[in-house]
Amino acid sequence: MNNKYFLTVIEQFEEKERNALHELLSKWECCTIWEGCVEFQECNHKKLVDNIRNEHFLAKDSFYEILNYFLSNSDKELSEVLNLLRSNILENYILKGGNVIKKPAFLATCVKKNILENYLLKNNYTLNETERFFQKDPAEFNVKEKKTLLKFSNRLIWVTWDEFDEVDPYNFLHTLSVDAICDAMALDKSYRNKQLALLYFMVDPNRLDQFPIYRPTWCDANFFDKFSPTDPSKEIRWGQTSPTVQLNLKPNYQERRPEGVVLSNNLPCEYLNRRIKIIHP
Amino acid sequence: MTNTPLYYAEYLKIYKLANYRFKFLVESLEYETGHLERLSLFEDILLENESNLNLVFQASKHDDVVTIAFAELISLPRQTIIENTAIFESIFSRAITGKYLYSCDKALINIRALFAKKKCGLSMNFIKDILYDKALDTKIKIAIAQDVSENDDYSLNINWSTINLATNSFIIPAYMYVFHKRDPEKSLSALITVDIDFANNYFDFFFYPIEITLLQLLQVQNKFKEYFILKQRIKSKKILDIIDDTINKSSELRSFIDSPEVYAINLNEESYALRLKNFAFDNYEMN
């Protein structure tokens, strides 16, 4: 992978600090037991550290701040450092990857159906109203349904699209299945064997320039180890997914799918342009 | 980590046993230790206590730990939720009495969502206490009343017709759901009792009952003329806006309202009003 950007960021540190940072990351990636935090025990620690080195889109000032934070907490376990950092991520370090270049008009995202149902129930929907929401044509959405968000405020929605501007962002797949979506989008293993809801959005072409879609960074991915920073020598316009297996693609499509992040507040259901599609495992 | 929760040590012993770690943890707490540990675990989930939840659940790229923890709670077998009714009621009571300070709303909303999704969770007596608790947040009361109306086990045990809607406005969306199928006029006429302030504050709860009632009225088309008469008696502009929005968004309703037949009815609205002046709207107390 390409760590040029990381090297330019650490150039801002004194030589002694630079060496300390290199040493720290080397120590962390060799660390086999990460005590104290369940959520990091199962992840690939080397990959997580590699992601820091291979990051390219994260704004330099934010990147510098995080590395500086690592240095000042170098005596602590990585899991502890990351846990402390994680509590600041939402406020300070998300959406720092810069805008997606050549924004797509047709976007899609994928959520677990039950998680979306739970979220609607928490937002004054009844059980039957929730069922109706899933069956409704978005053209018939009322005011309440239109303003409904897919997640709590200020959370990230990961979106994908078709690089050839096709209406269907999942057009690259021969067959739409839970496994194919999980592989292509590098979804967490908990998504397998679950009903998935595919949501298709359209942004008004006249508003596209102002519509905020960001290139994803290591921080947006919330330290998720299946995430891989995009190599700018291969793609600079947007982020790319990191498929877990070789995909059965239609001709001319790339394995790594376009991806970007949008703030939940900016993508309410009024942008849905077709019925929610449920796919079963 | 400070304030390590009661269930954590127990959890550490078992978490490697399976992918379904949360279910194992709940089982372990049921068989080995008990009530306090379960209470502590469920409280952390319902209060969205992120730092403690990080000890048990894994966030992912797409879902935060609070979302995952709640989904896991909801994925527990219905029987497990029923067996823990006392715990959920206890958490609910503590939330109502302000035990949790800032997280009270979260706890109430999450318990209500759990209860709705599993169609169980709280006893009928407990629900009655909640609905008639004057101090409790009105949004929660409206939502719980709606959940009750959609759940036959509860709904059939309530004599909805005897409820005074004028003094219990929070019941109206639930009342509309109960009557929308068998008597859509009665459902619609409940909107007459909605006062302006109540509608302005809680209009989100009216979209669904208004939509299903109007669609049901369409099924008995000769009754649709009553809609025009009832509409004149609705005081709240917000409710009238919701009705208009519902009709405008539904191709089915819009094409019917725009039909020549309905246009004629609309023109003759006043003569219908005269002919139906003794129309019996009121199977409930108006005041």
pLDDT digits (tens, 9 = 90+) for B134-168: 888 899 999 999 999 999 888 988 899 999 999 99
Structure tokens at B27: 């089982």
State the first-to-last Cα distance of chain B, in angstroms, to the nearest integer.
58
Q: How confident is the model at residue B222 (pLDDT cuts 50, 70, 90)?
A: low
The C-alpha atoms of residue B57 and residue A255 are separated, in whole angstroms, by 31
- Cβ of B57 and A127 within 8 Å? no
- Judged by a CB distance cut-off of 8 A, whether residue B215 touches chain A is no
**Which residue among A83, A121, A129 sits closest to B54, beta carbon to beta carbon?**
A83
Are A199 and A161 in contact by the 8 Å Cβ rule? The answer is no
Mean pLDDT of chain A: 89
Question: What span, in angstroms and rounded, lies between the C-alpha atoms of A88 and A101?
Answer: 27
CB contact under 8 A, B204 and A144: yes
Contacts of B117 in chain A (CB under 8 A): 117-118, 121, 127
Q: Does B59 touch chain A (CB under 8 A)?
A: yes
Name the pLDDT band for A91 (thresholds 50, 70, 90): confident
Q: Does B177 touch chain A (CB under 8 A)?
A: yes
Tokens 């899991």 found at: A79
As given in the structure block, the two tokens for residue A199 are 């949501």
Would you call B103 an interface residue with chain A, using a CB distance cutoff of 8 Å? no
pLDDT at A94 over 90: yes
* pLDDT digit string, tens, across residues B39-60: 999 999 999 998 888 778 877 7
Q: Does B26 contact A at CB distance below 8 Å?
A: no
Tell me what pLDDT residue B1 has. 41
Q: How many residues does chain B have?
A: 287
Task: Output A221 or B121, whichever has higher pLDDT.
Answer: A221
Please judge whether B75 and A38 are an interchain contact, meaning their C-beta atoms are less than 8 angstroms apart. no
- Per DSSP, the three-state class of A160 is strand
Confidence of residue A40 (pLDDT cuts 50, 70, 90): low
> Does the distance separating the beta carbons of A39 and B245 come in below 8 Å?
no
CB atoms within 10 A of CB B21: 18
Check residue B227 and give its pLDDT: 79
pLDDT in tens, A201-219: 999 988 888 899 999 999 9
A83: distance to nearest CA of chain B, Å?
9
- Closest partner residue to B54 among A37, A190, A221, by Cβ? A37
Interval B182-193 mean pLDDT: 93
β-bridge mates for residue B152, sequence order? none
3-state DSSP percent of chain B in helix, strand and coil, to 5: 70, 0, 30
Mark yes or no for CB contact B71/A112 under 8 Å: yes
Q: Is B115 on the interface with A (CB under 8 A)?
A: no
Residue corresponding to tokens 């659940």: B57
Q: How far does the CA of residue B116 sit from the closest CA of chain A (Å)?
A: 6
At residue A85, does pLDDT exceed 90? Answer: no
Cβ of A36 within 8 Å of Cβ of B250? The answer is no
The DSSP code sequence of A94-118 is SS-S-BPSS--SEEEEEEEHHHHHH
Rg (CA), chain B: 23
Distances (CA, A) of B152 to A27, B148, B208: 60, 8, 18
pLDDT tens digit sequence for A226-273: 888 998 888 999 999 988 788 888 989 999 999 999 999 999 999 999
- Which of A196, A198, A202, A220 is closest to A63 using CA atoms? A220
CA distance A188 to chain B (A): 6
pLDDT-derived band of residue A189, with 50, 70 and 90 as boundaries?
confident
pLDDT, tens digit, for every residue of B104-127?
888 999 999 998 998 887 888 888
pLDDT at B179 exceeding the cut of 50: yes
Interface contact flag, A190 B68, Cβ < 8 Å: yes
- Asked if residues A159 and A260 have their Cβ atoms less than 8 Å apart, the reply is yes
Query: How does residue B5 score in pLDDT terms, banded at 50, 70 and 90?
Result: confident
Q: Which amino acid is located at A155 in the chain?
A: R
Partnered with residue B73 across adjacent β-strands are none
pLDDT at site B262:
67
Contact of B71 with A111, CB cutoff 8 Å: no
Confidence category of residue B282, pLDDT binned at 50, 70, 90: very low
Assign residue A247 a region (left: φ > 0; alpha: ψ between -120 and 50; beta: otherwise): beta
| Preferred mutation among A51, A83, A128 to probe B, highest tally of B CBs within 10 A | A128
Contact A142 B246 (CB under 8 A): yes
Chain A residue numbers touching B70 (CB-CB < 8 A): 118
Q: What is the DSSP letter of B121?
A: S
User: What share of chain A in percent tops pLDDT 70?
Assistant: 95
pLDDT in tens, B81-106: 998 989 999 999 888 888 877 778 88
